[in-house]
Structure 1
Amino acid sequence: MIDAMMEHPILINRPLVVSQLSVKLCRSSEAVLDLLPSPQSAPFVKEDGEAVKATRR
């Protein structure tokens, strides 16, 4: 399945994120927060302009 996604990236609309903790398909931008080795320290703005507060899920 990974090979197919690499050959045809249109099959996924969010990146695969790799961290020391895990690998995850981060379909919502906030999903990456679970993979951070340290809690998020500052808010960030998603690609659609929505602000995400500095909290860990």
Structure 2
Amino acid sequence: MAILALLGLGFMFSVVLFAVLAVGGLLLWGWFWWKTRKGGKPAKVENPQTETPAR
């Protein structure tokens, strides 16, 4: 009977540990994605071939 209780406690601990690691991994991924995302629209690139020359 004690063996079943220990197995149950070990299983519950592993499920909680897995949940904590999964949430931590998602938070870390979300933070990394937020820091490396491109903000808004891309900046307009000036194309020297299409500009009219200064007179």
TM-score range, shorter chain: under 0.3
Structure with the greater alpha carbon radius of gyration: 2
* Structure number with higher helix proportion: 2
Using the size of structure 1 for normalisation, the TM-score is: 0.18
